[in-house]
Structure 1
């Protein structure tokens, strides 16, 4: 005998109610409380944060104060064999970058950011500083150096005679320079690409490492202060030298920050100059009064 419809409906209603309650409880629980849940794998967290996993062998080990191998042999954009010491300025600081010409992304970002900062420095390429770019790929050619050099100088509105040198070299000479700079890179045979850090090195006129500027963007203030610091007063205006005393490099943030004691010293000098000027004014006025009497 078939059950009456009035008896079936209450059971259906109860089943639907219990199902709804179960769904609410399940969806309200945190992911870690659900069956089979646990700690989220690190790979998933990094993927969600859009952070690539670290590449083994890629790093920067700062060698501040270390002298570059000035006898290192490279080839310039004209195809001429040159020593590193011949292209580095002996009177001005130098911005040095290590890249390679077939890089699909990072090298272009670094060089474009360097050009952008150089435009806004308030310092002039050739007059206040120079630049050297070295390819880490021994397969790169002087023709590629010439093309990159022209492109970046044109983007800055500079003539082709401007002192931004693009160099290629042998694997041994490249690694020798990179090791001195602490620039750690590696070659991935599967993709035929180099993995490398993003950094601009600031070199003193004596050929030693003064500062490292990191990232794919470079604040013009930091780059200018690093160049002024490396030049040790040999470039920039008198005002630049005064401003330099009010900023100090912070190794934690890798940025130049406001230096309160430098500002206090500057303020003290200004007060001293103002008082000296006032005393001289009153002294001369008294002399004039005495002469008139």
Structure 2
């Protein structure tokens, strides 16, 4: 009896923590994960993606997806180019439509790379109740009634049991809040390399076209040809700031470059001076 009472107490405590987590979030935490009220006592790390654990991991591309027409296709059909992946759900009338609208606006400012030509975009629902019908309605309500740009697909998953496999493989967490009748989740774009490896997480409320352009450049990685060496140089000049969730100038690189230039200048200057003295002495 005592053992049963102890088990019940533990179960009640776990349920209480779960309730607090579900009711305390509004799509995540910190600037990168959404907004949490100042009075909230919920630890925002609950929804935080453990980036260092998943960066470099290869996604499973065997999953079967369905677009708004109900047509099936494999995730693997979008390999070969960098892929911007966004998880959403289609009965959402708030953050999910915003994150997709913002992505569309952000991509308009990406001048170096062209969607469909240099990279692809994929929105996948993590709600097992979503269907091609709810997807079609979401597209209409979110401002995509005329369709998506070439290279961008919005989809549901054919096998509902695959949802947790795909989201879990990238560290994406989500919870259902019965009180608010909504999912709580991070608003994040996941960048995948042409070979399907996770290369970057960019958070919806903070990124700029420059951030996205740099993320695509970095994702292209070793595929940057000699003719596009300038892209490699530009990519190297920026590093990702995990604290701010943005790209920033790679200060150590510039310091090292400055030191190298100074050293070379000193060597060349010394050589030129010695040569000048030698010529003057011989004359």
For normalisation by structure 2, the TM-score amounts to: 0.67
The root-mean-square deviation of aligned C-alpha atoms, in Å, is 3.4
1:108 aligned to 97, 108, 111, which one?
A: 97
Residue 135 (str. 1) matches residue 135 (str. 2): no
State the shift of 1:229 in Å: 0.5
Residue 176 of structure 1 corresponds to which residue in structure 2?
Answer: 165
Q: Deviations over 1:194-247 (max 9, x none)?
A: 111111100111111110012424211111111110111536954332211211
1:78 aligns with 2:69: yes
Structure 2, unaligned runs of 5 or more: 1-23, 25-34, 265-283
CA spacing shift, 1:150–1:126, aligned 2, 3 Å: farther
Range moving further from structure 2, 197-206 or 242-251: 242-251
How far, CA to CA, are the matches of 2:244 and 2:134 in structure 1? 36
Conservation of the 8 A alpha-carbon contact between 2:97 and 2:142: no
Q: Select the residue among 149, 166, 170 that pairs with 2:154.
A: 166
Q: Using a 3 Å threshold, how does the CA distance of structure 1 residues 74 and 200 change in structure 2: closer, same or farther? A: same
Q: Map of 1:213-228 to 2, 5 A cutoff? A: 213-228=202-217
Q: CA deviation at 1:55?
A: 7.1
Query: 2 CA distance for matches of 1:47 and 1:95?
Result: 26
Shift of 1:131: 0.3
Q: What residue number does 1:64 align with?
A: 55
Structure 1 regions of 5+ residues with no counterpart?
1-42, 273-293
From 180, 203, 207, the equivalent of 1:191 is 180
Larger Rg computed on CA atoms: 1
Distance 1:266 1:207 in 2: 33
**Aligned mate of 1:255, from 239, 246, 249:** 246
- Write the distance in 2 (CA, Å) between the matches of 1:204 and 1:143: 30
Rounded to whole Å, the distance in 2 between the matches of 1:120 and 1:52 is 38
The answer to whether the 8 Å contact 1:113/1:217 transfers is no
CA deviation after TM superposition for structure 1 residue 150, in Å: 6.9
- Residues 51 and 115 of structure 1, relative CA distance in 2, 3 Å threshold: farther
Cα deviation for residue 147 of structure 1 reads 4.9
* Structure 2 Cα separation of the partners of residues 161 and 108 of structure 1: 16
Give the superposition deviation at 1:77: 2.3
